[in-house]
Structure formats: structure tokens, C-alpha cells
Structure 1
Amino acid sequence: MPYLSQAERDYITEGVHSDLRADGRGRLDYRALVLETGIISQANGSARVRLGGGTDVLVGVKVEIDQVEPDAADIGKVVCNVECSPSASQQFEGHGADDLNNELTQALQRVLGGPQCGINFEKLCIIKGQQCWIVYIDAMILDYSGNVMDAIFIATKAALFNTRIPKTQIQDMGDGEFEFEVLDDVEDAERLEGVENVPVGVTLNKVWTVMTGSTKLNKEHATPLEELCTEAKLLIAVNKDGKVCGIQKGADGSIEPGLMSEMIQTAKRVGQSLIRQLDQSLHNEEAQVEEKRRNGEHVEKLGFFAVV
């Protein structure tokens, strides 16, 4: 964990107050973001995202058939898992990494594991009361330079957009018995219904500037040194319609009700803008790939990276 002197802390916090951060961005400016989808051939969908400065996340999506839950006989489900590579940061080494993995996994699962995810869970059911599709989302943090949760949400949304589920044919055997067959033809695979409604995460940080005695919101995306100056942070999941799909507080400081409302409104505005840009990038990339395939050209995925 890096250590900050008081002079360094004052430099960062007063820069935030002046709306000029150390890397030249304003408080609400993004770092450059690059991504590519479809880079894991063994997965049903995948994406890799890097934020300028180093935070690097790889997400793979795998769909498998399993028994429905007894209390959810007509829907499928989403299961999330986040792992931090020990080489990504010193703070990911040792037993502390397990706690961080659990924290990040739970944050992602709370948003994507329920109806607020946006995906039509009923469409994931194959035979009511028997089988359904389970969507496994596995995220790996390859490199860390702050604001990792936002990067995970962006990469997950891109990977789900890239995901295709095989079609199934169901046969009625009579007496309430059914059988199904999974079609092998890749061209018949379908996109997840409702994937356009999957939210992104927007993290806002409360920074107290000592010299001016005021609070400022520091977003987007906080660097590791800026995170050390954060009293409290709020992760807000927002979908394309500006609906808040989940909120999670981090750090030890408090957030006043008025500031909380301001943070939520800021997240809604920033989140919708991010989704519009991300969707446009994903559709453009998909169109380019389809055009190459129609022309008989070889489609090569670099894995690192196509520019947004």
C-alpha cells in the first residue's frame, strides 16, 4: 500500500478542489478507455477493458445447463466471481486478496444476480421446473491503478453483449414429460434478451479539502493515490434509462444526505453517458466483424486492444 506525505495529500486534495487533477483531468473526467470483445474462444462471451493508467480487467462468460432452483422453477440465474491476479498489485498478495475477491464478487452479484440486472431470466429457463441456463460471469483483474469496480462493470456489460446462447429444441413426450436438444450450429445461437439493460457501475469519491474546509466529488476514474485521500466512496449501478440498480458504500467516512443525493444524480448522468458511448463502440465493433466475415476476410482478435 503506497504511503502519502501530508504535502502529497494536500497537493491531490487541493487539485480536486480546483477541478484539476494530477493527470490533467477534471473531477468528472474519464481516463481513456480501450476494449475488445470475443477474445476467449472457449467462452460464450468475453471482453477485456483497460482504463488509461493501467487498470486492466478480463471477463469471460460461460453458459451451462443445470437444474432450476426449487423456489425459482421458471427462471435461470447469473453467478458472478471476481479474482484478483497477485501480480496486479501488492495489495492483492496474501490472505487480504481473498477478502477483496469476496467483496468485489458480492458487489457484482448483488447487481447482476437479480431482476435489476436487466437480463430476461425467464428466457433462461429451458423446461419449467426442470432445466435452465446458468450464466457464469468470471472477472479477472490483471492490473490495478484504481477504480477497479467501474472497469469490472464495463467489461462485464461488454462480455454479456458478446455472449451467445445455443438454441434448444423441446419435445413433448406426453404425460408431462419433456426432452430437449441443444443445437450445435453457432449461427443459431442467440443473444441474451435484455442485455441492453445491463447497468454499469459509477464510483464517486468524497474528498475533504482541509485548506478550504469543503467537500468535493472526485470522479472518474480515481487513481490509487486519489483513493488514499478518499473519506468515503459510493458505487452506484445505473442502467441506460438512468434507473439506479444498486448502491454500495465503501471506506469509513460518512456521507451526508444532501451529498448522497448529489452523488446519485451525478452517477445517473455520467452512467447514461458512459452506456451510450459503450453501446456505440460495441455495435461498431460487431458491425466491423460481420462485414469482414461477409467479405470472406479473416477475423483476428488481438486480445489487447481495439480502441473505443
Structure 2
Amino acid sequence: MYLLSQKIKLPKKISRRFPAYELYLYGEGNYAEENKNLILTGIPVLFLPGNAGSYKQVRSLGSIALRKAEDIDFKYHFNFFTVNFNEELVALYGGSLQRQTRFVHECIKVILKLYKDQEFAPSSVAIVGHSMGGLVARALPTLKNFKPEFINLLITQATPHVAPVMPLDKYLTDFYTAVNNHWILKAQDVRNLTTLSVAGGFRDYQVRSGLAFLPRLSQHSRALFVVSSAVPRTWASTDHLSIVWCKELILATIRAFFDLIDETTKQITEDPKKRMLVLNHHFVRHPAKFFEEDPETLTELKGTTQNTIWNAWRQAMVLILVSSRTRLG
């Protein structure tokens, strides 16, 4: 297998407005050769790199998704797109974030046009954003001409949603204020968008986990926040960069993607409840089995059994207290 990221030709108007940015389609080996003519039949996913990040980082997701598709004989598969921001430094300057947001908006429209003549043409794009790339994705609904239905799923990796890591620039703080105010005051605009924020945990010295919370998370029923060390079958903290290629975390993400597919439309399900069920299954309560539409109900402790357990726990606590007092005395 060899890497062959194919550059997508953009309309001249977009190229002139954003000369430093590019759009690519990820591919490997035969899969890349088959998609040379851009006759695409998969499910579009757009990867957005973060501060000084490379568009080639999409390979972590794209390669695992390709192996998974091969295992099921391409019954379903994903087309991973990625944006080249020319490794731009955006963590300290909000003006660049605004420019990147406008470019990503144009890229989404270009991506959807590639599928317009296909039998199962998608109407939305899923986005995975690393660090500031996740913030750029969250800024899309603030654009005047942006259609909320363009995105139905957003997964962010170590993204400082709450505030800048270093608020040294007024444009940057204004950008954060505009994005977070929009999500709080105009939550109706993102009501159909399912969002997952994954923090790196204690090993991420650049973006502490507290910054990865989504504003007013408790009031947004379609948003989920997790720390990588708490993700089932991952159980590991990641530093700021390795969260992009942590294999266990990537596997959880790709498994979730495939479980999100609607068999009728062959695209990511439009049911927000189903999306949250799948994300909770893979990132919160994974029971080490495949996702089921109607999982078995957990057995509840009732009556005598529950009382017995409670009494045993209370007696154990009393023994611990007595023992500690004896040692102190």
C-alpha cells in the first residue's frame, strides 16, 4: 500500500480567495487508483488539522477505515477528505481562524457536489477536527450563509472549546466569544448536530481537559464530552499530538462511524438519538460487544438483594472507621 492524497481542484474563485489552502482526498493503493476520476460512492468525512498541523494526519483515520471497509467487502465505506492549511499557526491569532472557517465552508459545498449524481448522495458531511481544527468546525454555524444541515456529526480531538490556551490576541478572544455565544444563544441552529469532544487527559500539557468541555453541555442533549483515559478499550491518556494517531482511540472512532450508518440511505443516520446511542456505546459504556439497536436491559437490584448489599457495604465502612481510629489511638 502507498499513500496517495489526491488534490481536489477547487473553483477559481475559491482558489483566488484562499491561495494558501488546499483540499485533498485521502487514498491508498488500489482504492486511490479507483477514485482518481472522483466518482465517489462512500460517506464523506472531512478532517481538519489544528495549529501547525498537517493535512497528512488524516491517514490515522483513513487507513483504519479502509481496512474496516475491506473486511466487509466495501458494503459501506468512507471517503476521507482533508484540508491543507499550510501548517498555519492559528492558536494565537483569531484572524486566521476566521479565514480557515470560510474556506472549510467552501470545501463542504465542493465535497457535496462530488456526490450529486450518485444513487445515495449525501446531504451532509461528518467532521473530525484536531485541536483548533475542532474550533473551526464549531465556528461554521456562525457564518451567514451556512446551512446547518451541511454537518450532522462533529468529533473534536483535544480542542480548547471553552477559551484560548493563551488569550494574547483580541481577534482570538472575539472569535471564541462569537462561537460560544452562538452555540448558547442560538442553540436551535445546531439542534441536529451531534458533537463529541475528546480530551487527552493529564498527558496533554498544551490543552488541559477542562478547556475541552462544550459550553452549556448540560443543556445540549446532543453533545458528549469524554477524556481519552476513560474511553472503553482505550484507557490511556494522550499528549496533544498523539491523540490524532492513538490506535485504540482511532479504532473506537471508526467503529462508531460504521455503526452510525443507516442501511437504507447508506449514509450516517439522520436520527440524532441513534447517533447519541452509538457514541455513548463506544466512548462511555462499551460492554465489549457490537452496538445493538435495542440492547438488553440491565438487571436492577431490588428488594432483599439490594438491602443485603447496602447493609454489607455499611458494615464494611463501620469496620474501616473503627480500624482507623484504633490505629490513631
Query: What TM-score do you get using the length of structure 2 for normalisation?
Result: 0.28
Q: RCO greater where, 1 or 2, for CA within 8 Å and sep 6 or more? A: 1
Decide which structure has greater helix share: 2
Query: What TM-score do you get using the length of structure 1 for normalisation?
Result: 0.29
Decide which structure has greater strand share: 1
Greater Rg over alpha carbons, structure: 2
